[in-house]
Amino acid sequence: MERPSWDEYFMEIAHVVKKRSTCLRRQVGAIIVRDKQILSTGYNGAPKGLKHCLDIGCKRQQLGIKSGERHELCRAIHAEQNAIVQAAHNGISIKDSTIYCTTMPCVLCAKMIINAGINRIVFEGEYPDEFSMGILKEAGIEMIKFDKEF
């Protein structure tokens, strides 16, 4: 049996995390890691105590809003945002960490990643947000496109 690399290992865990997503359009998982230890996890879904899109439907879908546009009309918090917020909620520093995302981060998540001090992103898939990639490069964030399928 061949052991997975660390990136493979943590990306596979991010895929398990995304199974908790309550988004009807896209299931995303994220985990934040430093020194080969998981610090925080997140998936996309409604904030605590609010009804989930699984229960009441998707406003963006009802309005015909394309992926990557009008983030403010989404009921859910993104997986990356949830992972960052959960770390803060639990008093865990994520400075100089890596975030593993099952989808490339949007511009809103990219700004939070930069300000949180995360310095490496391992991501899969594409997201229709060119601005995100540009600001991450400008900030000097190391970005690794992960191509292995699970």
In a domain, 57, yes or no: yes
Structure tokens at 2: 């061949």
Residue pair 82/27 in contact (Cβ under 8 Å)? The answer is no
Amino acid 150: pLDDT: 59
Known binding residue 78? Answer is yes
Q: 73-77, 115-119, 145-149: which has the highest mean pLDDT?
A: 115-119
In a domain, 20, yes or no: yes
In a domain, 77, yes or no: yes
Residue 140 pLDDT greater than 90, yes or no? yes
Known binding residue 106? Answer is yes
Which of the two residues, 55 and 144, has the higher pLDDT score?
144
- Say how many CA atoms lie within 13 Å of 111 toward its Cβ: 4
Positions annotated as catalytic residues are: 80
Its pTM stands at 0.90
Distance (Å, whole) CA 146 – CA 130:
18
In a domain, 150, yes or no: no
In a domain, 66, yes or no: yes
Q: What is the pLDDT of residues 7-34, one digit of tens each?
A: 999 999 999 999 999 888 889 999 999 9
Known binding residue 109? Answer is yes
In a domain, 99, yes or no: yes
- Say how many CA atoms lie within 13 Å of 29 toward its Cβ: 14
Which residues constitute the domain of residue 127? 6-145
Provide the CATH number for the domain around residue 78: 3.40.140.10
Q: What is the pLDDT of residues 48-92, one digit of tens each?
A: 888 888 888 888 888 888 877 787 778 789 999 999 999 999 999
Amino acid 110: pLDDT: 96
Contacts of 6 (CB under 8 A, 6+ apart): 36
Residues 123-128 have a mean pLDDT of: 83
User: For the chain, how many structural domains are there in total?
Assistant: 1
In a domain, 119, yes or no: yes
In a domain, 81, yes or no: yes
